[in-house]
Amino acid sequence: MELHTIIEDKFHIIQIIGDLDASSSILLDNALEKAIITNIKNILINCAELHYISSPGIGAFTSRLEECAEKNIQLVLFGLNDKIINVFRILGLDQLIVIKTSKDDAKKYINDAQLTSSLH
């Protein structure tokens, strides 16, 4: 698996390429940890080239959810293929993790959420 990280506007984007399994989940966890400690409050995970995910791979996402919530960080996944979306749905993770179709949809979701919260 490869990870590429870029900062684009107010978004920290992590791109996953390949299979997310027990050994590579550590790389993702480290990338998420680094993203969380930045001052950027929006983390997007590009899963367009994620081909397979194992239980430890899912754990890399779920283990950081509480920390993101505590620090008011939006975490959004996008570009998941049908097979991986089905895994998230079967496990009910689509109820805990925001999943969008594209990067534009993910950015729009975050921008809309921030606009709504600033109005209250």
Question: What residues are paired with 100 via a beta bridge?
Answer: 78
pLDDT by 10s per residue, the chain, length 120: 999 999 998 999 999 999 999 999 999 999 999 999 998 999 999 999 999 999 999 999 999 999 999 999 999 999 999 999 999 999 999 999 999 999 999 999 999 987 776 654
Backbone angles phi, psi at 87, to 5 degrees: -60, -45
Q: Give dist(CA 111, CA 97) in Å, integer.
A: 17
What pTM, to 2 d.p., does this model score?
0.93
Q: Are 15 and 3 in contact (CB under 8 A)?
A: yes
C-alpha to C-alpha distance for 119 and 80, rounded to whole angstroms: 31
> What CATH number does the domain containing 27 carry?
3.30.750.24
Enclosing domain of residue 78: 2-119
How many structural domains comprise the chain? 1
